[in-house]
């Protein structure tokens, strides 16, 4: 590792398979990445690219069957989450690792007031008394910018707006001072002006609390504004990984390049036509023996059908899983 610090989370070779009628779906294929203290890692990919399933696998949140985490290690500090017992795992979830889900409406329980839901992890994981938990809950709601926090503890989720609900979710995830916060499309269901509020909040919280964050999104714009490092996923695999500026300036994988080009710009000249990525995302029916992007790739070669490319370093902590040499063509 270039910058010495030991990773807080180190995922190696993770493989998750869903058993379905008549076969298997290989949703996550040999995914490896690490997360360093205080870092914000952005994970980008389309639906079906395996980004959410990867994160759910880490925390044992997938129902099994049909899901099966078949291979890999997930080291949180010096413990492997995949071999951990159910009881220990429960202590990790909501304790050392916080999770924020996409839809703040469905991930809060409508029949409990938000105070109860924030206090729950505090009492379970930290063994706080009711009174102490309540004080901490007020403090948390203030941290995430909910006005009049003490009174609002008694309110139910439906009494909050979408943006406010997502703030409550973040408060719950932060309750036990997690080392790692995993946020799965936390702003996708929100309007842009509300999204901007949440992004500002997260930037602010990072500085104050110094935790490491994994931020899953399909929006490259969000990633550009918030991430230190980016993991691009496609077809259940890591296509490219690198520091955010390097990756946006010199994208090496044809998929990353295409993604950047299909997005219309808010400034500058207007293109006559949007560049498109032809075709459809791959079906993940079998263990991949070829590059999953080859059917849509403008640079596909004969080897791409024979061999699934391994990730190869490009220097500066930037790597790509592609047979094609991106230096052959400018953007």
Task: Using CB under 8 A, list all residues that contact other proteins.
Answer: 46-47, 161, 163-164, 191-197, 199-200, 218-225, 244-245, 248, 258-260, 262-267, 270-271, 273-278, 280-281
Nearer to other proteins, 280 or 289 (CB): 280
Q: Which is nearer to other proteins, 83 or 193 (CB)?
A: 193
Question: Please, what is the minimum distance in Å from the beta carbon of residue 262 to other proteins?
Answer: 4
Cβ-based nearer residue to other proteins, 111 or 330: 330
Minimum CB distance to other proteins, residue 223 (Å): 8
Taking the complex as a whole, the smallest distance from the CB of residue 236 to other proteins amounts, in Å, to: 15
> What CA–CA distance (Å, rounded) separates 331 from 329?
6
By beta-carbon proximity to other proteins, the closer residue of 82 and 199 is: 199
Which of residues 109 and 161 has its CB atom nearest to other proteins in the complex?
Answer: 161
Measured from the CB of residue 303, what is the shortest distance to other proteins in angstroms? 24
* Residue 27 C-beta: closest distance to other proteins, Å: 16
């Amino acid at each position: 590792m270039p910058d010495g610090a030991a990773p807080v989370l180190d995922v190696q070779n993770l493989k998750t398979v869903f058993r379905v009628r008549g076969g298997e779906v290989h949703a996550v294929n040999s995914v490896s990445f690490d997360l360093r203290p205080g870092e914000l890692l952005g994970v980008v990919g389309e639906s079906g690219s395996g980004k959410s399933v990867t994160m759910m696998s880490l925390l044992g949140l997938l129902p099994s069957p049909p899901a099966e985490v078949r291979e890999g290690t997930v080291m949180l500090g010096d413990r492997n989450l995949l071999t951990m017992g159910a009881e220990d795992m429960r202590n990790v979830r909501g304790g050392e690792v916080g999770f924020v889900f996409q839809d703040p409406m469905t991930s809060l329980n409508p029949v409990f007031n938000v105070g109860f839901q924030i206090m729950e992890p505090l009492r379970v994981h930290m063994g706080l008394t009711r009174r102490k938990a309540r004080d901490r809950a007020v403090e948390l709601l203030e941290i995430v910018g909910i006005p009049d926090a003490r009174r609002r503890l008694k309110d139910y989720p439906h009494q909050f707006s979408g943006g406010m609900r997502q703030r409550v979710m973040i408060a719950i995830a932060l309750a036990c001072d997690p080392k790692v916060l995993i946020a799965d499309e936390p702003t996708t269901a929100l309007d842009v002006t509300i999204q901007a509020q949440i992004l500002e909040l997260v930037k602010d919280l990072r500085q104050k609390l110094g935790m490491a964050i994994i931020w899953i999104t399909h929006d490259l714009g969000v990633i550009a504004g918030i991430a230190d490092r980016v993991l691009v996923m496609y077809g259940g695999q890591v296509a490219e990984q690198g520091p955010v500026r390097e990756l946006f300036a010199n994208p090496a994988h044809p998929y990353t390049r295409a993604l950047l080009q299909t997005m219309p710009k808010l400034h500058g000249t207007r293109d006559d036509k949007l560049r498109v990525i032809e075709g459809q995302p791959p079906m993940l029916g079998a263990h991949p023996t070829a590059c999953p992007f080859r059917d849509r790739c403008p640079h596909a070669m004969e080897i791409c059908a024979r061999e699934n490319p391994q990730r190869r370093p490009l220097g500066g902590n930037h790597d790509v899983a592609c047979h094609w040499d991106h230096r052959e063509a400018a953007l």
